[in-house]
Amino acid sequence: MSARAGFEFLEHTADVGIRSFGASVEEVFEQATRGLAEIIGAWRWDPGAEIEAGDEVPVAVDADPGDLAGLLVDWLSEVLYLHEVRDAAFGGVRVERVGGGRAEGTVTLVPAGPGGFEGTPVKAVTYHRLKVGPGPDGWVAEVYLDI
């Protein structure tokens, strides 16, 4: 993870947005994934900590070439689907490649733990005010979630 990588939440009256940033578009997708997981209360890994064994699940989504923003919605929607049907938390995410209309990587699914998910359930990923593109210091994405 680069020093430039991270995310922050964007205020919204009823829902919530994520602004993620990073040195590469792959990193921006990773940080958006982490933001989504944090909202749900499903992120289970801190840098440097021992990660418990989990299930590394491949994720691959396709969109129209050149539509990075649509690809981000598809990626996060896929992650959300996995969380819900597997009732799983996330022990990590690695986005290997974003380009040519495809995003590929893995998410590590781990048990939720005794506390369950103490965040806010997310219903879906929206296209509202969606952006992915070069930023002042690398790449930036903004995406809003329906909660």
Partner 1 sequence: MEPSKREPYTFEVPVGYVEGMRVPGVVFATDELFARARQDRAVDQVANVATLPGIVGASFAMPDIHWGYGFPIGGVAATDVEAGGVVSPGGVGFDIGCGVRLLRSDLEFERDVRPRLRELVGRLARRIPAGPGGRGLLPLDRTGIQQVLAGGVRYPLSRGVGWEEDAALCEDEGTVPDVRLEQVSDRARERGAPQLGSLGGGNHFLEVQVVDEIRDQRAAQAMGLFPGQVCVMIHTGSRGLGHQACTDHLRTLDRLMPRLGIKLPDRQLACLPVAHEAAQAYLGAMRASANFALANRHVLTDGLRAAFAEVFGRSARELGLHLIYDVSHNQAKLEEHEVDGRRRTLCVHRKGATRAFGPGHPDVPERYREVGQPVLVPGSMGTASYVLVGHQESARRSFASTCHGAGRAMSRTEAKRGIRGTQLLRELERDGIVVAAKNPKALGEEAPNAYKDAGVVVEACEGAGLSRVVARMRPAGTVKG
Point out which residues bind partner 1 (CB under 8 A).
Answer: 9, 11-16, 40, 64, 69-70, 73-74, 77, 81, 84-85, 87, 116-121, 123-130, 144, 146-147
Nearest to 143 by CA among 43, 42, 71, 61: 71
For the CB of residue 138, give the shortest distance to partner 1 in the complex, in Å: 24
Between vectors from CA 69 to CA 22 and to CA 35, what angle results, nearest 5°?
Answer: 50
d(CA 55, CA 85): 14
For the CB of residue 119, give the shortest distance to partner 1 in the complex, in Å: 7
Between vectors from CA 33 to CA 103 and to CA 140, what angle results, nearest 5°?
Answer: 75
DSSP state of 1: -
d(CA 73, CA 129): 12
For the CB of residue 2, give the shortest distance to partner 1 in the complex, in Å: 26
Q: Which residue, 27 or 140, is less far from partner 1 as judged by CB?
A: 140
Q: Which residue, 12 or 102, is less far from partner 1 as judged by CB?
A: 12
Q: Which residue, 27 or 143, is less far from partner 1 as judged by CB?
A: 143
Q: Which residue, 2 or 120, is less far from partner 1 as judged by CB?
A: 120
Phi first, then psi: give them for residue 141, nearest 5 degrees.
Answer: -135, 145
For the CB of residue 39, give the shortest distance to partner 1 in the complex, in Å: 10
